[in-house]
């Protein structure tokens, strides 16, 4: 059995627990300081509640950090210092420097460390990446992505405090910065505009223009100002054709609850769930002592691009992302 310990029983802690419950080789423990969340989580997932971060790290082989973003680095460093394999939700950490410290600590301790870039495990994004890499549309020239819905709150409203979440560029666009860098290569420089960056809280919308070292250009739109529900789109134009994706067009199942709340789902099996694939890939790499599916270096570079976008949105200047 693998002893997995989740830190944070909020939105993502629950998404992860649902996946671990599909795995017969996982024994689940967790810690969340809010008693009502802790009780509900323990009951729903048959997971063992512990009393502190330290207890989770002491008991478990694998630590899964589902905490607010500004708490990722501290929890990650503590788990690494105890020799644990560590998974950290995206964004890998709140700043690029924090990412660097996590990487250095994991290299010194020789422990597996993986950031949660789940977009890579969504079928549309995985297939889009594979098609581009296989030359299906020739040489990529231009890419456009859009991601968003309404601004989440999170526990005690932490998402809406940009000191904690980084706003829409660090929290949301980071998915697309990672996917585009994975698919098109390194970013040479970028320019970004955001409506939320001046207030530092609340709803936000940002548009970032990227120039890749290959010469390709991209634009990444991220919004917390769309009441129409969460949606992702992308488009990659190459010398031989165009690939397009729109999550609203590909819906197989739509569930509407009393009160009007609507969920849209693809028809996927339990093990096709991108969150399952991501976590199973991580655990298998830990068990087999192979490379984790998404490297810590990639997680850090996605944050580097996001932080460059924040700087550009603040200064109005073109910014070159830092390298690990
Ligand atoms: N990959 C994705 O699709 C995705 C989606 C949403 C959020 N996220 C990321 O996941 C992370 C968590 O976001 P969330 O939506 O679950 O937030 P959340 O606010 O719903 O959950 C965070 C939980 O951490 C708990 N917590 C606070 N301090 C703690 C401590 N010291 N020890 C243990 N628990 C503590 C809170 O009580 C809360 O239950 C963020 O970094 C966010 O950006 C990723």
In this predicted structure, what is the pLDDT of residue 285? 98
- Residue of minimum CA distance from atom 17 in ligand 1: 154
Where in the chain are all domains bearing CATH 3.40.50.720? 2-116
Ligand 1 pocket, residues with Cβ under 6 angstroms: 7-13, 31-34, 37, 53, 66-69, 89-90, 116, 118, 154-155, 158, 171
According to DSSP, the residues that pair with 203 across neighbouring strands are none
In this prediction, residues 146-154 reach a mean pLDDT of 95
**pLDDT at residue number 86:** 99
**Residue 307 confidence (pLDDT) above 80:** yes
pLDDT of residue 251: 75
Alpha carbon distance 153, 250 (integer Å): 27
For residue 174, the SS3 value is helix
Which letter does DSSP use for residue 321 in this model? P
Q: What is the pLDDT of residue 255?
A: 84
C-alpha distance across the termini of the chain, in Å? 35
Going by C-beta distance under 8 Å and a sequence separation of 6 or more, which residues neighbour residue 205?
148, 168, 194, 195, 196, 221, 222, 223, 224, 225
Residue ranges of the chain that CATH labels 3.30.360.10? 119-315
Q: Do the beta carbons of residue 270 and residue 78 sit within 8 Å?
A: no
What angle do helix axes 173-184 and 296-315 make, rounded to 10 degrees? 120
pLDDT (0 to 100) of residue 82: 98
Report pLDDT for 169.
97
- CA distances (Å), origin 198, targets 53, 171, 195: 35, 16, 7
Confidence category of residue 201, pLDDT binned at 50, 70, 90: confident
* Dihedral sign computed on CA atoms, order 226, 228, 230, 235: negative
Q: What is the CATH number of domain 119-315?
A: 3.30.360.10
Residue 267 has pLDDT above 70, yes or no: no
Query: CA 316, 298, 23 angle in degrees (round to 5)?
Result: 130
Pairing of strands 217-223, 205-212: antiparallel
Percent of the chain having pLDDT more than 90? 89
User: Chain-wide mean pLDDT for the chain?
Assistant: 96
Confidence class for position 261, pLDDT limits 50, 70, 90: confident
DSSP tag of 319: B
In terms of Cα–Cα distance, which of 254, 181, 242 is closest to 214? Answer: 181
- Site to substitute for ligand 1 among 5, 6, 7, 10, most atoms within 8 A of C-beta: 10
How far, in Å, is the centroid of ligand 1 from the Cα of 145?
25
Q: Quote the pLDDT of residue 239.
A: 96
22-54 tens-digit pLDDT: 999 999 999 999 999 999 999 999 999 999 999
Give me the pLDDT at residue 32, please: 98
Measured in Å, residue 135 CA sits from the centre of ligand 1 at 38
- Min mean pLDDT across 4-13, 91-100, 200-209 is at 200-209
In this prediction, residue 229 carries a pLDDT of 86
| Residue 154: pLDDT over 70 | yes
- Among 67, 79, 158, 277, the mutation site with the greatest number of ligand 1 atoms within 8 A of its Cβ is 67
User: Distance between CA atoms of 25 and 238, rounded to whole angstroms?
Assistant: 44
What per-residue confidence (pLDDT) applies to 180?
98
The residues with which 61 forms a beta bridge, in sequence order, are none
Tokens of 306: 């996001």
Q: State which ligand 1 atom lies nearest to the alpha carbon of 12.
A: 16
Quickly name the fold that domain 2-116 has.
Answer: Rossmann fold (3.40.50)
């Amino acid at each position: 059995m693998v002893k997995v310990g989740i830190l944070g029983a909020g939105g993502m802690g629950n998404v992860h627990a649902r996946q671990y419950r599909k795995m017969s080789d996982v024994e689940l423990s967790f810690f969340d300081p809010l008693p009502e969340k802790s009780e509900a989580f323990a009951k729903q997932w048959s997971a063992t509640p512990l009393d502190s971060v330290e207890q989770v790290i002491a008991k478990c082989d694998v630590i899964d950090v589902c905490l607010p973003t500004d708490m990722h680095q501290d929890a990650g460093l503590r788990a690494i210092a105890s020799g644990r394999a560590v998974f950290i939700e995206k964004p890998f950490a709140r700043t690029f420097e924090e990412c660097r410290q996590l990487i250095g600590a994991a290299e010194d301790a020789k422990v597996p460390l993986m950031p949660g870039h789940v977009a890579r495990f969504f079928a549309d994004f995985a297939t889009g990446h594979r098609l581009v890499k296989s030359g299906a549309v020739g040489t990529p020239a231009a890419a456009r992505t859009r991601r968003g819905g309404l601004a989440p709150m999170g526990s005690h409203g932490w998402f809406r405090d940009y000191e904690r979440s980084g706003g829409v560029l660090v929290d949301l666009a980071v998915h697309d910065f990672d996917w585009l860098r994975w698919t098109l290569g390194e970013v040479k420089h970028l320019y970004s505009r955001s409506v939320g960056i001046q207030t530092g809280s609340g709803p936000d919308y940002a548009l970032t223009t990227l120039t890749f070292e290959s010469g390709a250009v991209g634009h990444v739109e991220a919004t917390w100002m769309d009441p129409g529900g969460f949606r992702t789109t992308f488009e990659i134009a190459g010398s031989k054709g165009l690939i397009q994706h729109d999550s609203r067009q590909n819906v197989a199942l739509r569930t509407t609850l009393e009160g009007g709340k609507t969920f849209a789902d693809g028809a996927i099996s339990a093990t096709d769930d991108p969150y399952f694939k991501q976590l199973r890939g991580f655990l298998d790499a830990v068990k087999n002592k192979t490379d984790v599916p998404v490297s810590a270096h990639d997680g850090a570079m996605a944050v580097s691009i996001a932080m460059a976008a924040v700087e550009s949105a603040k200064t109005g200047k073109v910014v070159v992302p830092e390298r690990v």
